[in-house]
């Protein structure tokens, strides 16, 4: 929360002139809009409280977070472990399991260990400054090699932890298991989470959208005005929109302040309800050995998803659903358009070459918005809660 | 001739009587058949009503499971204590924490058994943007 700025909204005034604040927190860009400018400070306070709680519960990079504690309990355990968790973490895990179920496992919260093994084991801002080891990690598919002892024998018990790097020497080959989401269960009412041995959960594919939904609804409910909450570009709206058209949002490859010029094709759309989320392989890229990696992993291979789409944006009834669908679409590659259409989810897909495809009610882009595409977007510079 | 005509009348009367008896019997049989048919029809209606009521009950049970807080993915899946969930096969993912707020439509969606389309599609905006959505940065 080092940077903060407030600016008047640019939307045409119909019912209210919205006011916005933009700042960085948890390694991502936060955007907050309210239709009643007098309530911006109170809205900001509510959102700050929610983000702090979210960080304590769900951060993969914070050593004292609940999620890291779960990983620590699972590390070296002889079998599945059940740990007490807060309601917030339990709900976040539940949302991630639902996402996994509805995407046939394309969005899987048990990829955390592999994500760390690939080098994304700290806040993204720190990641770029680190010289990564030449460790070679081999990933095991769910259902193929699920014996937790293999993970322990391979060194998960004494190896990487959040912020500690891979911990292996040059040339080391270590086996990383993706246990699969079905091996995780949560009882929200009882506040208990059961995970397999050695698992490191990563809720990054779902938690931002879900948190945006929660906070937008909470602020709108508490303050009685229209609210937009964007957490790293995952945007939820609640309450009455500022104009008849809704909240105008610029969709692009990376989430940047509006003052920053975007790379690649952009489009301004408006939403009145629900959420809009964008997943991109053009953001959060890092180098490992001779490879350029990105943060969206295919759980079936343990490797970054094949680069079919550079960016997928989806509108849904909730930001959590939009986030889930956008991430799954990146992983599904060429199968994504048919899948999104079957769900009637309005979506915008940008190919690696910059070609834009609009589906299921997403407004067709105007020719002027088809800017020249730059595949390599080096604009990313910060991490998030993943 | 008188004898003949009387005999003829008698025979004719007997035939009429027999005809009336047969007609009465046939009417009775028809009534019986109609009654049986109506009873069968009523039974079928009753069965159909019962079936409809059963489906309604299941649907209501499923809806209740979907909105009740605490009907979690794991508890429904692991313990099998939620009869509504197991009998309908729906809402197995249960409700989520977003039900803690009342004004957000996300509450119901986040517990639904499919990714939910928005109530209205995004519109092409002619005005400037108020926020951005891209890959996380």
Query: Looking at residue A200, what is its pLDDT?
Result: 86
Residues of chain A with CATH 3.10.520.10: 4-55+206-369
**CA-nearest residue of chain A to B98?**
A214
Query: Looking at residue A281, what is its pLDDT?
Result: 79
Rounded distance between C-alpha atoms, residue A348 and residue A322, angstroms: 12
Mean pLDDT over the full length of chain A: 77
CA dihedral A266, A271, A277, A279 (to 10 degrees): -20
Query: Looking at residue B28, what is its pLDDT?
Result: 61
Interface probe with B: pick from A84, A284, A317, most Cβ of B within 10 Å: A317
**Pairing outcome for strands A19-25 and A28-34:** antiparallel
Does pLDDT of A341 surpass 70? Answer: yes
What's the gap in Å between the CA of B90 and the closest CA on chain A? 12
Rounded distance between C-alpha atoms, residue B66 and residue B92, angstroms: 8
Q: Which of A226-235, A246-255, B36-45 has the highest mean pLDDT?
A: A226-235
Q: What pLDDT digit, counting tens, does each position of A82-112 carry?
A: 999 999 999 999 999 999 999 999 998 887 6
- Given pLDDT bands bounded at 50, 70 and 90, which one contains residue A27? confident
Q: Which of A73-87, A134-148, A355-369, B112-126 has the lowest mean pLDDT?
A: A134-148
Token duo for residue A116: 């760390």
A69 versus A306: the higher-pLDDT residue is A69
Contact B137 A380 (CB under 8 A): yes
A184 versus A122: the higher-pLDDT residue is A184
Q: What pLDDT digit, counting tens, does each position of A1-12 carry?
A: 334 555 544 433
What's the gap in Å between the CA of A126 and the closest CA on chain B? 13
Residue A118 CA, distance from chain mean position: 17
What's the gap in Å between the CA of A110 and the closest CA on chain B? 16
| Angle at alpha carbon of residue B11, lines to B8 and B13, rounded to 5° | 105
Query: Looking at residue B27, what is its pLDDT?
Result: 60
Query: Looking at residue A199, what is its pLDDT?
Result: 85
Instruction: For residues A360-366, give the mean pLDDT.
Output: 86
What's the gap in Å between the CA of A192 and the closest CA on chain B? 10
CA dihedral A196, A199, A201, A202 (to 10 degrees): -140
Residue in A315, A306, A307 with CA at minimum distance from that of residue A348: A315
Nearest-by-Cβ selection for B137 from A208, A255, A273: A255
CB A175 within 8 A of CB A140: yes
Regarding an ipTM greater than 0.90, the answer is: no
List of residues 6+ apart from A173 with CB closer than 8 A: A136, A137, A138
- Given pLDDT bands bounded at 50, 70 and 90, which one contains residue A329? very high
Contact B125 A218 (CB under 8 A): no
Interface probe with B: pick from A5, A123, A220, A271, most Cβ of B within 10 Å: A271
Instruction: For residues A204-208, give the mean pLDDT.
Output: 90
A195 versus A117: the higher-pLDDT residue is A195
Q: Residue B4 region, left (φ>0) first, then alpha (ψ -120 to 50), else beta?
A: alpha
Rounded distance between C-alpha atoms, residue A234 and residue A280, angstroms: 12
Q: What pLDDT digit, counting tens, does each position of A30-44 carry?
A: 999 999 999 999 999
**CA-nearest residue of chain B to A274?**
B118
What distances in angstroms separate CA A113 from CA A242, A252, A325, A367, B7, one per listed residue? 42, 29, 23, 43, 113
Rounded distance between C-alpha atoms, residue A228 and residue B126, angstroms: 19
Q: Which residues of chain B are within 8 Å of residue A269 when distances are taken between CB atoms?
A: 122-125
Instruction: For residues A197-202, give the mean pLDDT.
Output: 87
DSSP string for residues in A149-209:
HHHHHTTGGGS--TTS-----TT-EEEEE---GGG-EEETTTTEEEE-TT-----HHHHHH
Query: Looking at residue A87, what is its pLDDT?
Result: 96
Count residue pairs from A and B with Cβ separation < 8 A.
298
Maximal C-alpha separation, chain B: 124
Nearest-by-Cβ selection for B106 from A315, A318, A345: A318
What is the share, in percent, of chain A residues with pLDDT greater than 70? Answer: 68
Identify the helix (H) or strand (E) that includes residue A57: helix A40-58
Contact B127 A362 (CB under 8 A): no
The domain A77-200 having CATH identifier 3.90.350: the answer here is no
Residue A160 CA, distance from chain mean position: 22
Identify the helix (H) or strand (E) that includes residue B123: strand B123-124
Q: Which fold would CATH assign to domain A4-55+206-369?
A: T-fold (3.10.520)
Does pLDDT of A288 surpass 80? Answer: no
Ranges under pLDDT 50 in chain B? 1, 3, 43-109, 137
The 3-state DSSP class for residue A267 equals strand
Interface probe with A: pick from B113, B118, B126, B127, most Cβ of A within 10 Å: B118
Does pLDDT of A140 surpass 50? Answer: no
**CA-nearest residue of chain A to B97?**
A91
Residues of chain A with CATH 1.10.3980: 77-200
Q: Which residues of chain A are within 8 Å of residue B73 when distances are taken between CB atoms?
A: 94, 97-98, 101, 185-186
Instruction: For residues A245-273, give the mean pLDDT.
Output: 82
Q: Which of A108-117, A178-187, A283-292 has the lowest mean pLDDT?
A: A283-292
- Given pLDDT bands bounded at 50, 70 and 90, which one contains residue A22? very high
Instruction: Show the beta-strand stretches assigned E in chain A.
Output: 4-8, 19-25, 28-34, 81-84, 136-140, 173-177, 185-187, 192-195, 227-231, 234-238, 247-254, 267-271, 275-280, 285-288, 291-294, 297-298, 303-304, 309-316, 347-351, 356-359
Rounded distance between C-alpha atoms, residue A320 and residue A313, angstroms: 13
- Given pLDDT bands bounded at 50, 70 and 90, which one contains residue A317? very high
């Amino acid at each position: 929360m080092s940077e903060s700025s407030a600016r008047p909204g640019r939307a045409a005034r119909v019912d209210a002139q919205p006011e916005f604040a933009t700042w960085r927190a948890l390694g991502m860009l936060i955007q907050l809009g309210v239709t009643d400018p007098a309530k911006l400070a109170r809205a900001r306070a509510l959102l700050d409280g929610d983000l702090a709680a979210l960080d304590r519960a769900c951060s993969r990079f914070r050593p004292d977070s609940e999620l890291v504690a779960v990983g620590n309990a699972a590390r070296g355990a002889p079998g599945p472990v059940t740990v007490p968790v807060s309601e917030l973490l339990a709900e976040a895990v539940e949302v991630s399991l639902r996402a996994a179920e509805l995407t046939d496992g394309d969005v899987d919260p048990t990829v955390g260990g592999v994500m760390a093994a690939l080098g994304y084991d700290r806040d993204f801002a720190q990641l770029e400054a680190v010289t990564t080891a030449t460790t070679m990690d081999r990933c095991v598919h769910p259902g193929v090699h699920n014996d937790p002892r293999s993970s322990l024998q391979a060194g998960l018990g004494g190896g990487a932890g959040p912020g500690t790097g891979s911990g292996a020497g040059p040339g080391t080959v270590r086996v990383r298991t993706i246990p699969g989401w079905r091996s995780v269960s949560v009882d929200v009412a009882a506040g208990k989470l059961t995970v397999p041995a050695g698992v490191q959960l990563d809720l990054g594919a779902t938690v931002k959208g879900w948190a945006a939904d929660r906070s937008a609804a909470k602020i709108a409910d508490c303050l009685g005005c229209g609210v937009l909450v964007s957490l790293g570009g995952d945007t939820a709206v609640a309450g009455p929109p500022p104009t008849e058209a809704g909240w105008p949002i610029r969709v692009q490859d990376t989430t940047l302040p509006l003052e920053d010029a975007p790379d690649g094709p952009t489009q301004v759309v408006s939403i009145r309800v629900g959420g809009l989320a964008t997943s991109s392989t053009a953001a959060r890229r890092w180098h490992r050995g001779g490879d350029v990696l990105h943060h969206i992993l295919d759980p079936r291979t343990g490797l970054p998803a094949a680069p079919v789409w550079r960016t997928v944006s989806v509108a849904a009834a909730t930001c959590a659903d939009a986030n889930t669908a956008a991430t799954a679409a990146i992983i599904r590659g060429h199968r994504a358009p048919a899948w999104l259409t079957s769900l009637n989810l309005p979506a915008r897909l940008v190919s690696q070459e910059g070609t834009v495809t609009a589906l299921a009610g997403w407004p067709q882009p105007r020719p002027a918005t088809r800017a020249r595409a730059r595949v390599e977007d080096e604009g990313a510079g910060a991490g998030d809660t993943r | 001739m008188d004898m003949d005509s009387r005999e003829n009348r008698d025979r004719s009367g007997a035939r009429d009587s027999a005809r009336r008896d047969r007609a009465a019997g046939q009417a009775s049989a028809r009534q019986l058949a109609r009654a049986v048919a109506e009873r069968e029809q009523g039974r079928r209606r009753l069965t159909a009503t019962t079936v409809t009521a059963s489906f309604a009950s299941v649907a209501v049970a499923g809806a209740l499971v979907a909105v009740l807080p605490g009907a979690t993915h794991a508890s429904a899946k692991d313990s099998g204590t939620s009869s509504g969930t197991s009998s309908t096969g729906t809402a197995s993912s249960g409700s989520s924490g977003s039900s803690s707020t009342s004004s957000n439509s996300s509450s119901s969606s986040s517990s639904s058994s499919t990714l939910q389309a928005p109530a209205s599609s995004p519109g092409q905006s002619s005005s400037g943007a108020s926020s951005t959505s891209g890959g996380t940065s």
